[in-house]
Amino acid sequence: MTLSELSNIILPVLEFMSILFVFVIGLIVLWLAIIYVVDITQTHQAIRHNYPVIGRLRYLFEHLGTFFRQYFFAMDREELPFNRAERGWVYRAAKDMDNTLAFGSTRDLRPEGTILFVNCPYPTLDTDATIAEPLIIGPDCREPYTTTSIFNISGMSYGAISKPAVCALSEGARKAGCWLNTGEGGLSPWHLEGGADLVMQIGTAKYGVRDDHGELSDEKLKELAAHPQVRMFEIKLSQGAKPGKGGILPGSKVTKEIAEIRCIPVGEDSISPNRHPDIDNNDDLIAMIQRIRKVTGKPVGFKCVIGAWGWIDDLLNRINQQGPDAAPDFITIDSADGGSGAAPMSLMDYMGLTIRESLPLIVDKLTAHGLKERIKVIASGKLTNPADVAWALCMGADYVVSARGFMFSLGCIQALQCNKNTCPTGITTHNPKLQQGLNPGHKSLRVANYARNIEHEVGVIAHSCGVRNPRLLRRFHARMVMQDGHSVPLNELYPEPKSKLTSESSAS
């Protein structure tokens, strides 16, 4: 091909490209002009009015700042609600990767409130370690629940999280031998599909167990109890992120299937009452527990955030007056820093006590009333790492549950979009395109790895403290750093009370 022929081809292309470039530039100028006019004529936002076009960058940078801080500017231990070090441990555990570190801890051990475990000069040898003894929940029920699992999956509704996420959690829980709480959205086929043990949560709207009038249905309870996988029922009084506020599922997440499971309209916001209308006092709560247990034959407990606590003493007194049948089989204590897909900031930031304060409070009250053996205690709320779980066991918890820890195991990147239908990892969205990257088969293995590695490393802590298994951890195995920089044993900070029943029997 001659130079003349080549130029005859190139020149028209260059001419077309130049015309296209001018056209694109013209569109951009026109677009900016339109934005300029829109901004200068509106009076809703002063920044946009006073600085047309460029004022919009403020809102873009404000949005992008969340992600820049997460990846570039925040230190490993700075970020909230979970810092990079905490998330990183879960990611590595879920992938079953080496979780050892080099050159020393980045955790500052000096701040007040820091927990330190007390190592024993003669740790438990691996050959002497034992598996945690199985505990029985609801021993007097027709179908009590016996399990050795210490770490389990907390309530996440189908609706708040996606179908592939539920499937992965269910299958992963089965592989790990732990339970999965359904959340208040009702029992879906996807909870059952993986074969895990399930805790059926009954929220204030009674999704999944309600009749046509929204009341608790004995028939629905019997249907659910007929599933062998449904092992327990949990009455949700309140949850950590929003004590005093019911569940909130945006209408964009209420698909036809979810609407059918919950018996609500498609596409409308699903907002639960801020409490159970039929539970107005402790007597009502006891009656509800007894009713569900009688109908289902399975263990029944309740979940709550502790704020005011006088009602706990009254409840335990009434249980002792009425006998063991009046007692819940378990109490799940949620922390004020618990999570949710959607919650008012005023409640999320300011309402309720954290698990650090509420767990020892409840354990001590159960002990004082002689009910600690009868009522199992489940701790919840930002307990995502082995040290968190070990601390809860030291304080008297029988089990620990986590929701956000297992979300991280599924691949959650803390994008903070749970209240929208735009989760980039497919966990909290019902957009089929965004769900494609979440393969339940692959992610279920990560769920199981995370649960197993938590229990393994809690065991490592226990053995270093000189006990054979994690259930033998006690308060004297840990210390808390005080304001002056010195640490104090937890059994001195939280001395366990003597049982009133034991004291009365000794006196008599």
Q: Which is higher by pLDDT, 475 or 505?
A: 475
* Mean pLDDT over the full length of the chain: 89
Q: State the pLDDT at residue 472.
A: 96
Where residue 477 falls among pLDDT bands split at 50, 70, 90? very high
Alpha carbons 137 and 227: distance in angstroms, whole number: 18
Beta pairing, strands 478-481 & 115-117 = antiparallel
* pLDDT > 70? residue 238: yes
Alpha carbons 465 and 444: distance in angstroms, whole number: 32
Whole-model pTM: value is: 0.86
Q: Order across the sheet with 487-489: list the strands.
A: 115-117, 478-481, 487-489
Q: State the pLDDT at residue 285.
A: 97
Q: Which is higher by pLDDT, 8 or 259?
A: 259
DSSP one-letter string for 257-307: HHHHHHT--TTS-EE--SS-TT--SHHHHHHHHHHHHHHH-S-EEEEEE-S
Rounded to the nearest angstrom, the gap between the alpha carbon of residue 273 and the centroid of all alpha carbons in its chain is 21
Where residue 276 falls among pLDDT bands split at 50, 70, 90? very high
Where residue 508 falls among pLDDT bands split at 50, 70, 90? very low
Strand partners, 351: none
Per DSSP, which regions of 119-191 are E strands?
135-137, 145-147, 151-153, 179-181
Q: State the pLDDT at residue 67.
A: 66
* pLDDT > 70? residue 32: yes
Alpha carbons 483 and 236: distance in angstroms, whole number: 36
Taking residues 33-41, report their average pLDDT: 92
What is the H or E stretch that residue 65 is in?
A: helix 57-68
332: left (phi over 0), alpha (psi -120 to 50) or beta: beta
pLDDT tens, 303-362? 999 999 999 999 999 999 999 899 999 999 999 887 776 777 888 888 899 999 999 999
Q: Which is higher by pLDDT, 189 or 68?
A: 189
Alpha carbons 421 and 434: distance in angstroms, whole number: 9
Where residue 224 falls among pLDDT bands split at 50, 70, 90? very high
* pLDDT > 70? residue 507: no
